[in-house]
Homo-oligomer: A and B are copies of this chain.
Amino acid sequence: MYINIKNLLKEGKTTQEVTLKGWVRTFRSNRFIALNDGSTIENVQVVVDFENTDEEILKRITTGAAIEVKGTVVESQGKGQSIEVQATEVHILGDSNPEEYPIQPKKHSFEFLRENAHLRVRTNVFGAIMRVRSVLAFAIHDYFQQNGFFYVNTPIITGSDAEGAGEMFRVTTLDAKNPPLTEEGNVDFKKDFFGRETNLTVSGQLEGETFAMALGKIYTFGPTFRAENSNTSRHLAEFWMIEPEVAFLDLDGNMDLAEDFIKYVLKYTLERCREDIEFLNNRFLEEEKTKPQNERSSMSLIEKLEFVINNNFKRVSYTEAIDILKNSNHNKKKKFQYLIEEWGADLQSEHERYLVEKHFQSPVILFDYPAKIKAFYMRLNEDGKTVRAMDILFPGIGEIVGGSQREERYDVLVEKIKAMGIDEKELWWYLDLRKFGTAVHSGFGLGFERLVLFATGMTNIRDVIPFPRTPQNAEF
């Protein structure tokens, strides 16, 4: 049996005989192998007795090669590591031709690594990101399960197109070139696999609500899709979303939940992924150094995480926010691309960033937005013009959470559905929730990759998901 490097370093026991299996990161002076097996960002140094090792084997110890090492754990002579392994045997499991292997021990551009997404996770940066992503995902399940929420897998393929959250992908088995047609000459979706037109889900919220109104507290955590042609560093066509939904919870409770949840998962991850996040922290600081002084972050990655964990998010109504923005020097000096002139304006990314990064210098929860710029299912306030919506805005990321108290009143909801031109028959089951045992309830959606961006200090969302899907790109 062999031991993984994480456990080997944790035990730190010398004099024991071990077997290691992993991949060569570097091999220098024909003597020192930096060996990594993915269990941790740390390599273990393997010292080869080159005078007693076959020349043919030494030649095959190249970056990327898989090897098995038997040897003795001893105190390390080198700095920065407590132990090393003196090899008694080295076996080559799989070669890696240095002329061909793309991941050499040098700096590769992120774009190059995206094109080699099947191999990039063998680098320190992407290994760290993907381990952090995994722990963060578990922290999310852990938080909800500990707090009495039930995990619900809402459908991915949906016949319901009423939510209007964005452009959708069609899912079909019809012949692409010659689809069956109706007598009127339209595509006959009755002949499609599901007997109707179907799409990939943009959100599990509506289905999630049906479960919250039975089990009380639920959450989803699954893939969602947007067929929008946005080639930005913040958008993916396929991304993972977390959507809790809670019966008997109002908007204030919803804000408390979201804030508590985010703090918990970031704290959990910071504690358990210390080495990975320290590595990413250094990478972040290096990157910041390449920027002009006035664009550099005032905090390191770890400081940003600790700031969020330890400080209350500022809660600000949309109306207050508009006042702040309208009266800001930024607005007066026309530094915004979209000037804020009156109540009712939809906030752009530049406004959100101003509030979070300049004005409050803190995560911000904006609430009570104008009904006109928000979705039909959000609860109308007594003023008749705002809804119980909330968005959480994060420095460097922008919107990370969008949520609301849901409209629980049947008549009001029907009216809003009609006003938005949605066919109310499509939503018969959603309306049933308001006909049978309706109650106040709330929920939110959190884009998982945005959270991973924040936790890792990365800036392009394509670098925090294993195989990004974006316009013109579905490789692998």
Tell me the A residues contacting B by CB distance below 8 Å.
2, 4, 6, 21-24, 37-39, 64-66, 93-97, 100-101, 103, 117-119, 121-122, 127, 130-131, 133-135, 137-138, 141, 145, 148, 150-160, 167, 169-174, 176-177, 179, 181, 186-187, 189, 193-198, 200, 207, 210-211, 213-217, 222-223, 225, 227, 229, 237-238, 240, 247-248, 408, 429-430, 432-440, 465-467, 469, 471-476
A437/B64 contact (C-beta < 8 A), A141-B141, A179-B177 known: yes
Question: A135: shortest Cβ distance to chain B, in Å?
Answer: 8
Partner of A474, one of B131, B159, B440: B159
**14 A–B contacts from the bound complex (CB under 8 Å):** A4-B148, A39-B215, A94-B439, A96-B436, A118-B432, A119-B432, A138-B145, A154-B466, A155-B467, A157-B238, A172-B172, A176-B179, A193-B471, A194-B474
Question: A92: shortest Cβ distance to chain B, in Å?
Answer: 10
A237 touches B193 (CB 8 A): yes
- Closest-by-CB residue of B relative to A149 is B134
A466 touches B155 (CB 8 A): yes
Partner of A437, one of B4, B66, B179, B429: B66
Question: A176: shortest Cβ distance to chain B, in Å?
Answer: 4
A172/B170 contact (C-beta < 8 A), A94-B408, A151-B137, A210-B118 known: yes
- Which residue of A103, A247, A466 has the most chain B CB atoms within 10 A of its CB atom? A466
A100 touches B155 (CB 8 A): no
A21/B248 contact (C-beta < 8 A), A4-B148, A155-B469, A439-B94 known: yes
Interchain CA distance A32-B94 in the complex, whole Å: 71
Copies in the complex: 2
Interchain CA distance A224-B276 in the complex, whole Å: 31
B193 touches A130 (CB 8 A): no
Chain B residues in 8 Å Cβ range of A215? 38-39, 121, 127, 130-131
